[in-house]
Amino acid sequence: MWMALAAIVAGLVVLVWSADRFVDGAAATARHLGLPPLLIGMVVIGFGTSAPELMVSALAAVQGNPGLALGNAYGSNITNIALIVGLVALISPLTVHSQVIRQELPVLGGMTLISLWCLHDGVISRIDAVVLLALLFGFIGYSIWRASRTHGDALEADVETHAAGDAMSLKRGVVWTLVGLLMLIVSSRFLVWGAVTVAEAFGVSDLVIGLTVVAIGTSLPELASSISAVRKNEHDLVIGNVVGSNLFNTLAVVGLAGVIHPIDVDPDVLIRDWPVMAALTLALLVFGIGIKGQGRINRLEGAVLLISFVAYTAWLVYGVIGTR
């Protein structure tokens, strides 16, 4: 048991470190290859911070624990909105200037509804998974097309400002990308083994472990990058990071895990986890677009999101205690 707990802690620490190195290296490499700043912000940084979820979920599916994969993806989405956006908004109210983000928020809402279609029959089949991956590639293709034609967006300015403080060479960028990727794989193996072992020892489902410990742990790179961005007044980068990460979790993380191994959907996902994820996504959409005027997430709304996260986590813990 102690070995498993140590594996979880060590896996999370190395996972966070390697994800940070991977994202920084990938973003620097993309800049040297001439990718538009908007595309780097939308795809490389937003999706790159979800690399831990992708690795953990893929390994969980390979090892026959698809519930952990699904819990990790949906739990990370909940954590990204309720904990990360909520906490950052308490530190500094977030104002959304980017039109690109305002256009992406409804896309995230639509993909969340599509995920319900995949869940409704109690299993995410390989066909469902292929559909999710196809939507992902379609979105990436659209993002590339839009980035080549959009100039002057606030998100683009935030990415350029963020990049100005990190003059990483191409060689160093490639090295850190590869090192970060390798350590992501190694740390994910430790984390999955530890999480599954602890779940079995305490009689807790791998879904709940994925929704709590693993989801919060794999979302730490998003939290670190968001706090760093808001300290530099890069509000659009914070929201863009969360939206991109949640899109990647919904489509790529679940899609890849489902292709590897069809996922049996626990009934609790439909009556508890998906509704919470959908409600938080709707709240982010309303706050981000703005009912009247500019989109803005103030401290009160941030507190509501944070309280929602605490309440949801307490709900999960109470459910575990109540079944023992």
Q: Over 60: is that where the pLDDT of 324 sits?
A: no
Residue with tokens 């959009």: 150
What span, in angstroms and rounded, lies between the C-alpha atoms of 205 and 225? 30
The answer to whether the CB of 234 falls within 8 A of the CB of 165 is no
Return the pLDDT at 198. 80
The tokens for 314 are: 């307490």
- In this predicted model, what pLDDT tens digit does every residue of 43-81 receive, in sequence order? 677 677 777 888 888 888 888 887 888 999 999 999 999
Lowest pLDDT segment from 54-68, 119-133, 150-164:
150-164
Instruction: Identify the band that residue 157 occupies on the pLDDT scale cut at 50, 70 and 90.
Output: low
Look up the pTM and report it.
0.87
Return the pLDDT at 283. 93
What span, in angstroms and rounded, lies between the C-alpha atoms of 235 and 317? 33
Instruction: Identify the band that residue 236 occupies on the pLDDT scale cut at 50, 70 and 90.
Output: confident
Instruction: Identify the band that residue 322 occupies on the pLDDT scale cut at 50, 70 and 90.
Output: low
Instruction: Identify the band that residue 172 occupies on the pLDDT scale cut at 50, 70 and 90.
Output: confident
Return the pLDDT at 81. 95
- In this predicted model, what pLDDT tens digit does every residue of 241-297 receive, in sequence order? 888 889 999 999 999 999 999 999 999 999 999 999 999 999 999 888 876 666 788
What domains lie within the chain, and their CATH numbers?
2-322 (1.20.1420.30)
Return the pLDDT at 21. 79
Neighbours of 91 (CB within 10 A): 13
Sequence-separated (6 or more) residues with CB below 8 Å from residue 187: 10, 11, 12, 13, 14, 15, 18
Specify which residues 295 forms β-bridges with: 96
Rg (CA), the chain: 18
Query: Going along the chain, which residue ranges are E strands?
Result: 94-96, 123-124, 263-264, 295-297
State the average pLDDT for the chain: 83
Return the pLDDT at 258. 93
What does the pLDDT average to over 304-311?
95
